[in-house]
Amino acid sequence: MTEGKIRAQFFSPFTDKKVVTMFTARRDAASSADLNKAVTVVLSGIDLTAYNTAHHTNYTLLPSDAYTLVAQPGVSQKGTGAELAFAPGDFAKKFMVELDGTKLDPSESYAIAYAVSDPAGLTVNAGKDTIISTIGIKNKWDGTYAFTGTMVDATNSNLTHVNDYLSAHGEADGTPAPMQYELRTISATECEVYDNYYYGGNYMLINNNGAMSNYGSFALIVQFDPATDKVVAVRNYYGQPAANTRSAALDPSGANQYDAATKVVTIKYFMKQPSVVTAAPNVRTSWDEKWTYLGPR
């Protein structure tokens, strides 16, 4: 499987049909003689319920009425599994489906999941024997945003907003201010805040006396009310609270609102850390920001 264990794809809402490549299987032949052999690789369906339990995920099996397999030579479904028949000279097979957008629920994270059960004598590369291919519909807040505003750490005045670092050093780093984060759909009403601009990962970046840094085990998940576009809650991606006692909370003095006309989120939020700030309400750090939509991620 060329994509690795998990292949995640998100799409803007659609009501027509869309052809999607769920995964690609490739055979790397050791010789031209091997390449010119006909082989059939058998894939067995993975129990998603057991997978979800083991990996703390919440995938739903892609319903059979939500897609049809795109006809291709050598690619077929067999019950809950699939077969990939490589003719002589074939080195890759794409598993492609036609999705029906009217059958997809934006609140669900859909998946198909297969494991190689019969490699037909071929050697399966380590970590490439399974594929979880997921499909999700982006909610309306999904996208790339420029973050501007202020940050105050009540325990350390050397820690300030990430844009203080980027304004001084970002041009040299190739990441000029303002900071860009992605709001990534995780449900119909929630987005995780993801750094795809500087480090890459779920981080809330900060300036530490002229050096780039971040708060360990702290990143935002933001929940919106779809009827009003209000930001109704935030929580810590790493746990509420995380092991280091850090949690996220909205500052109720903020507008905490998404403006659909301008695509700007105006928000105030806290990082609480009672292990450091012992007095209630345990607020260590405060942000007052605007997130301005730049485009799709």
Q: What is the 3-state secondary structure (H, E, C) of 9-59?
A: EEECCCCCEEEEEEEEEECCCCCHHHHCCCEEEEEEECCHHHHHHHHCCCE
Average pLDDT (109-135) is: 83
How far apart are the C-alpha atoms of 257 and 185, rounded to whole Å? 17
**The pLDDT of residue 118 is above 90:** no
**The pLDDT of residue 14 is above 70:** yes
Residue 151 pLDDT class (50, 70, 90 cuts): very high
**The pLDDT of residue 126 is above 80:** no
pLDDT at position 33: 72
Mean pLDDT of the chain: 93
Q: What is the pTM of this model?
A: 0.74
**The pLDDT of residue 108 is above 90:** no
Q: Are 8 and 111 in contact (CB under 8 A)?
A: no
Range with top average pLDDT, 22-31, 87-96, 120-129: 87-96
What is the CATH code of the structural domain delimited by 6-137? 2.60.40.1740
**Of 136 and 288, which is predicted with more confidence?**
288
Average pLDDT (180-204) is: 95
Q: What is the pLDDT of residues 25-64, one digit of tens each?
A: 888 776 677 677 888 888 899 999 999 999 888 899 999 9
pLDDT at position 35: 73
